[in-house]
Amino acid sequence: MIVVRWIRAFVEFWIDFVVGDDWTVAATVLAALLGTWGLQRAGLPAWWLLPAAVIGITTVSLRRATKGTHRPTRPR
């Protein structure tokens, strides 16, 4: 019974660590890894896909996280 709880806690930790607060980032990185693998298997240059996906999803995630948090300017 203790082993089952330990395994479950271990799996839950890694799921929380990888997915974190935004599952779309994890899904995008997974899709980019699979796409890179697919391009490589097809014999096409694949080095550019993962960096482009990470930059794109980081931009989207930051915009979503900061949406509506801008500070109003002070009147002079």
Domain assignment present for residue 8? The answer is no
Q: Which domain holds residue 28?
A: 20-66
pTM exceeds cut of 0.85: no
Domain assignment present for residue 73? The answer is no
Cβ-in-10-Å burial (0-12, 13-18, 19+) of 39 comes to middle
* Greatest C-alpha distance within the chain: 67
Q: How confident is the model at residue 8 (pLDDT cuts 50, 70, 90)?
A: very high
Report pLDDT digits (tens) over 17-73. Answer: 888 878 899 999 999 999 999 999 999 999 999 999 999 999 999 998 888 766 667
Q: Report whether pLDDT(15) > 80.
A: yes
Domain assignment present for residue 55? The answer is yes
Number of structural domains in the chain: 1
Domain assignment present for residue 44? The answer is yes
Domain assignment present for residue 13? The answer is no
Domain assignment present for residue 76? The answer is no
